[in-house]
Structure 1
Amino acid sequence: MASQPNSRKTFIDSAINLARSYNFHGLDLDWEYPATDTDMTNLGVLLKEWRDAVVAESSNSGKAPLLLTAAFYYAPKIESRSYPIDSITTNLDWINAMAYDFYDPSWSQVTRAPAALYDPESQYNGNYGVVAWIQAGLPAKKLVLGFPFYGYAWRLVNADNHGLFAPTNGEGTGSDGVMLYKQIKQFMAQNGAATVFNASIVGDYCYAGTTWIGYDDTQSISTKVSYAKGKGLLGYFAWHVAADDNWVLSQLG
């Protein structure tokens, strides 16, 4: 779609019409993920044309301009491919940085925090992404930090070795290891699972038998909220809220 002027226009016009027909306040783009440098260039063009169309539609309709946002990778580079920072800054109201899904049991053979805020051994953490976006030129007030309301379950090789980086051999439970927050809480209650909050990385995990689950609980989320405020970010968002009636943010007061 993004590679051709005609298809871009069709997409943009239909998106604006859809938003207006349902009285939406705006539109959010989710492209996971631009796979080439050309894709990144086309993304920048798409955002400019979309913003121009939103401004024109607002002028013609007399309504307030639609908000334009996007869900992007947690950092401004995917391998060697850089997001079009200038176009993003100029044409989007904000971006939602997907600071989660760093690790999962489908490929990681040791237990890891799926959405750590810090990680001294890897760049796969929320703080790295936030700092990188800001250093790349995105204003902090156009950056929103993402939290997951779900976790991943690993199967431990040895039930007695249950810390971070413990050897595993696949998914512990759930669909592909994915567990919603309410399912994790149910697992803890039903199995008397031990729970751990790791303040160094800002991440939670629990374990019972050979099942080990990495997730974010109240303390991790509240720490991340404070972090977002301290960095001057626009805010934070939670992914998978619609599927879960036990929301961590509701516990923050």
Structure 2
Amino acid sequence: MAEFVNAGYWLAGTDDTLPASNIDATLFTHLFVGYAQLNSDAHEVTVDPSQLILINQFSSTVKLSNPEVKTLLSIAGDTAVFATMAAEPANRDAFIKSSIAVARGGGFDGLDLQWLYPSSQDEMGNFKTLIHSWHQAVVDDATSLSLPRLLLVATVSNVPYLENNIQYPGEAINQNLDWVNILCYDFYAPTLSRSATGPSSAFHNPKVNTFSASFGIRSWAQSLHNPKKIVFGIPFHGWAWKLLSAHHHEVYAKADGEASGENIDGQIFYSDVQKFIEDNQAGVENNDKSYLIAYTYSDTTWIAYESEYTIAHKIALAKADKVLGYFAFNIAADDASNTLANAAKSNW
């Protein structure tokens, strides 16, 4: 069991921005790689052939700079495909066997299940059955190969329940997963909240408590009775809105969807936020104390993001809640100096 987790996600699709060979793996204890896919017909885990070499070389590449770093392959897919897989024993077996084979084939130390999200109590029951069988399979695999057991992680919603009182199985998670990655960001985005800006990765939210990392961490700690199973998320991307008025640029200011620019949905890398600030001599709030976010504005563009100061404060508060650690999504969004990754690691 890890003493603590300082993790980051790297996506094969961002190889042009951040090749694996340029990652400073000393900034992380764990690196997640995205994404393997769940095949909808055979219910097997596969890697896109165009990304296979990149993904299979990742572990050996990053371990050159940090031999101690653990790598995990992240499995994404349509929620309905996950639901169908988890509902039938034969489908579950196909998923489990293929996931272990793909992880071992790529030299990974673990697997990350991104079923976003089980949407009924039946599906939560199937999630429970799946992680129990998966855990038993990785134990058996480790025994047969005389190798360390693969780590098992699930990425989950910010709170341990979904609407209609649909609960994640806390006890089964405790017994079968090494930890959960909680998605405590993207609470607001211009595509979700068109008419007002929002604190997209708020640690506190005095207006809407449930849309905050602190609420998520404490809810999960209560559900699991064990904060050491919680790794909370910090986004390295921001969100850019178009303000209705250049004179009103506070959090929840009136807006008209996403700001015009390269990214049609309004998502923007931290490195590009820095460029925006510099190019526009933009106004900056580095550390809004009410929400623990940063934001910047110029004319009618308003961007919520994370700064080195917000990250330092968030990590201090999360550590006080005794969580296992944090993960960054995604590390290619950082600047060339790894400002955010350095801020996270140095404050852990």
| Structure-1-length-normalised TM-score | 0.96
Give me the whole-angstrom Cα distance separating, in 2, the residues matched to 1:130 and 1:30: 18
Superposed counterparts of 1:27-38, under 5 Å: 27-38=111-122
1:148 to 2:235 alignment: yes
What SS does the corresponding residue of 2:224 show, helix, strand or coil? coil
Give me the whole-angstrom Cα distance separating, in 2, the residues matched to 1:243 and 1:116: 19
- TM-aligned CA deviation for residue 245 of structure 1: 4.2
Correspondence for 2:148 among 64, 80, 99: 64
The residue type paired with residue 96 of structure 1 is N
Aligned position for 1:7: 91
- TM-aligned CA deviation for residue 203 of structure 1: 0.6
What SS does the corresponding residue of 2:204 show, helix, strand or coil? coil
Alignment identity in percent? 37
Aligned position for 2:293: 203
Give me the whole-angstrom Cα distance separating, in 1, the residues matched to 2:249 and 2:207: 19
Correspondence for 1:23 among 91, 107, 110: 107
Give me the whole-angstrom Cα distance separating, in 1, the residues matched to 2:112 and 2:325: 16
1:116 to 2:202 alignment: yes
Q: What's the CA shift string for 1:5-55, capped at 9, x where partnerless?
A: 101100100111111112211111111111211111110110000001011
1:101 to 2:186 alignment: yes
1:178 to 2:267 alignment: yes
Q: Is the 8 A contact 1:30 1:72 kept in 2?
A: yes
Can you give the 5+ residue segments of structure 2 that lack an aligned partner in the other structure? 1-84
The residue type paired with residue 47 of structure 1 is I
Q: Relative to 1, partners in 2 of residues 1:245 and 1:195: Cα closer, same or farther, differing over 3 Å?
A: closer
- TM-aligned CA deviation for residue 79 of structure 1: 1.6
Q: Is the 8 A contact 1:156 1:169 kept in 2?
A: yes
Q: What's the CA shift string for 1:187-208, capped at 9, x where partnerless?
A: 1111111111211211110000
Give me the whole-angstrom Cα distance separating, in 1, the residues matched to 2:116 and 2:332: 20
- TM-aligned CA deviation for residue 107 of structure 1: 2.8
| Structure-2-length-normalised TM-score | 0.71
Count of matched residue pairs? 253
- TM-aligned CA deviation for residue 84 of structure 1: 1.1
Give me the whole-angstrom Cα distance separating, in 1, the residues matched to 2:192 and 2:152: 34
Correspondence for 2:280 among 191, 195, 200: 191
Aligned position for 1:79: 163
Give me the whole-angstrom Cα distance separating, in 2, the residues matched to 1:131 and 1:110: 27
Aligned position for 2:44: none
Q: What's the CA shift string for 1:133-171, capped at 9, x where partnerless?
A: 111124111100100000110100010011111100110
Q: Which runs of 4+ in 1 moved over 6 A?
A: none
Aligned position for 2:124: 40
The residue type paired with residue 181 of structure 2 is N
CA-based RMSD of the aligned residues comes to 1.2
Q: Relative to 1, partners in 2 of residues 1:243 and 1:208: Cα closer, same or farther, differing over 3 Å?
A: closer
Give me the whole-angstrom Cα distance separating, in 1, the residues matched to 2:212 and 2:119: 21
Correspondence for 2:309 among 202, 211, 219: 219
Q: Relative to 1, partners in 2 of residues 1:201 and 1:243: Cα closer, same or farther, differing over 3 Å?
A: closer
Q: Is the 8 A contact 2:184 2:232 kept in 1?
A: yes
- TM-aligned CA deviation for residue 251 of structure 1: 4.0
What SS does the corresponding residue of 1:166 show, helix, strand or coil? coil
Give me the whole-angstrom Cα distance separating, in 2, the residues matched to 1:250 and 1:129: 24
Q: What's the CA shift string for 1:93-148, capped at 9, x where partnerless?
A: 01111110100111311111100000112111000000101111241111001000
